[in-house]
Amino acid sequence: MKFLEYITEAKEGKNVHLEHLEDNVLNNGVSGAREAINFLRSLRNMLAGHSDVKVNVTTKWDGSPAIFAGINPENGKFFVGTKSVFNKNAKLNYTDADIDENHAAEGLNNKLKIALAYLPKLGIKGILQGDMMFTKSDLKSETIDGEEYIIFQPNTIVYAVPANTKLAKMMMAAQLGVVFHTSYTGKDIENMKASFNIDLGHLTTTKDVWFRDASFTDASGSATFTEQETAELTSILSQAGRLFATIPALTLNRISSSETYLMQIKTYNNTKVREGQEIRDTRAHVNGLLKWVEDKLNKEILAAKKADTKEKRIKEKTEVMRFYRTNAAQLKNVFDLMNMIIEAKLMIIRKLETIKSIGTFVRTDDGFKSTAPEGFVAVDKLKGNALKLVDRLEFSHQNFNVAKNWSK
């Protein structure tokens, strides 16, 4: 599959969903595994100080809602919207009345109206996508570990800026804050294509809007690998390359080309993420997958009310389970390969996390607990492909569970 076929949930060429680096093995088979390993090699080279790096890195901000703003090329009018701008019946908001009609939910309604009032001041050319980080009413004063902060919580992560800094003063003066990460070009909304190589240099600065791009900047120069770290990561990638070479292309491509196998495996893997479990024993993980799939299919068979439906589901189960049992040994290798990719990815994430311009926390019953940023996005400079680098046992587990305990 081409990148623009797997980046989206709804429309080709639209940045509405990014995949995890290791899931590229499942999503795109042989080409996906090769691409994931090559991304990691390029990231290693970047952090080792090589000049001919083929990837850019951006920071993944945990904002909400996703915001789209700019000029509709079909009528020349400024609009704001959410991911629904790419729906078949696109929801583009040119006026407050449009927002009332398209987005009745009070919180989203208010944020979009603020965006519509102030984002035109930026002089956006084309269309930009970003994450809304705050509106003025979201900014609060908070003392954390004896230090005064200005905090805001757009989603799972609480962002904290020391209150006496220039950055905090800029945010307090603004009506809203947005981190832009994607630009779009095209003659009409439906056929627009996304670019992650975003340039905000043409935007007009205004005190009413705090904005920035998502580019990762290591101003201190400390986010670099030592020779020992580079050698360790190279060793992991070499092992991954050797294991990858032993896995039959047929197995990898069968998973990526089958919506059934792909969704079953990814869904089962996500049950472990929700539980905060690392997949260490891959043989046991394969056995667990087979049992989970079989139990699920048995329930569907029992739920069938018609004889022909039941017979059809029994045949489907026979075919599915034959695939899993025949390929059990290779599935173990696939999960081993994904674990090696995760191990290498986490080495890179830990290094990138050493630079934080804004404090990041999660709420707890006792107050706040320091946490890492959501993650990063690696973008191929030539092809434009992008994959996210997220510590799923850290952030994704929080995203599934911590959010339930928010106090708003």
- Residue 78 lies inside a defined structural domain of this protein: yes
Mean pLDDT (the chain) is: 87
* Region 278-296 average pLDDT: 97
Among residues 258, 396, 280, which one has the least CA distance to residue 327? 258
Q: Tens digit of pLDDT for each residue in 331-361?
A: 999 999 999 999 999 999 888 887 666 888 8
Per-residue pLDDT, averaged over 238-250, amounts to 97
Task: Flag whether pLDDT at 61 surpasses 70.
Answer: yes
Q: What pLDDT, on the 0 to 100 scale, is given for residue 222?
A: 60
pLDDT bin (cut points 50, 70, 90) of residue 199 is confident
Report the alpha-carbon distance of residue 39 to residue 59 in Å, rounded.
16
Residue 162 located in a structural domain: yes
pLDDT at 87 (0 to 100)? 79
pLDDT above 80 for 311: yes
Q: What is the pTM of this model?
A: 0.73
At residue 403, the pLDDT reads 44
Q: Span 44-66, mean pLDDT?
A: 81
Position 132 confidence tier, pLDDT thresholds 50, 70, 90: very high
The residue-averaged pLDDT of 189-214 equals 89
The answer to whether residue 396 is domain-embedded is: no
Orientation of helix 249-257 relative to helix 24-47, angle to 10°: 110
Is the model's pLDDT at 4 over the cut of 90?
A: no
pLDDT at 57 over 90: no
pLDDT tops 60 at residue 138 = yes
With H, G, I as helix, E, B as strand and everything else as coil, classify residue 72: coil
Per-residue confidence at 7, pLDDT binned at 50, 70, 90? very low
> Do the domain assignments include residue 68?
yes
Residue 176 bridge partners (DSSP) = 135, 209
**Number of domains making up the chain:** 1
CA distance 232 to 238: 10
Is it the case that residue 407 has pLDDT exceeding 50? no
**pLDDT at residue 90 in the model:** 83
Domain-located, residue 119: yes
Only one residue has tokens 């927002």, namely: 99
Q: Is the pLDDT confidence value at 56 over 90?
A: no
Which tokens go with 50?
Answer: 């090589």
Q: What number is the average pLDDT over the span 100-110?
A: 92
362 pLDDT band, cuts 50/70/90, is confident
Residue 225 lies in a domain: no
Q: Can you give the pLDDT at residue 3? A: 31
pLDDT at 218: 55
What local confidence, expressed as pLDDT, does residue 371 receive? Answer: 80
Owning domain of residue 91 = 62-213
Q: Tell me if 238 is assigned to some domain.
A: no
Q: Is the pLDDT of residue 14 over 50?
A: no
Asked, for residue 98, whether it belongs to a domain, the answer is yes
Given this model, what pLDDT does residue 260 score? 96
| CA dist 112 → 83, 89, 253, 254, 312 (Å) | 12, 18, 42, 43, 48
CA distance 139 to 144: 15
| 320 to 42, 214, 239, 262, 286: CA distances (angstroms) | 37, 42, 30, 12, 14
Mean pLDDT within 123-151: 94
Q: Is the pLDDT of residue 262 over 80?
A: yes
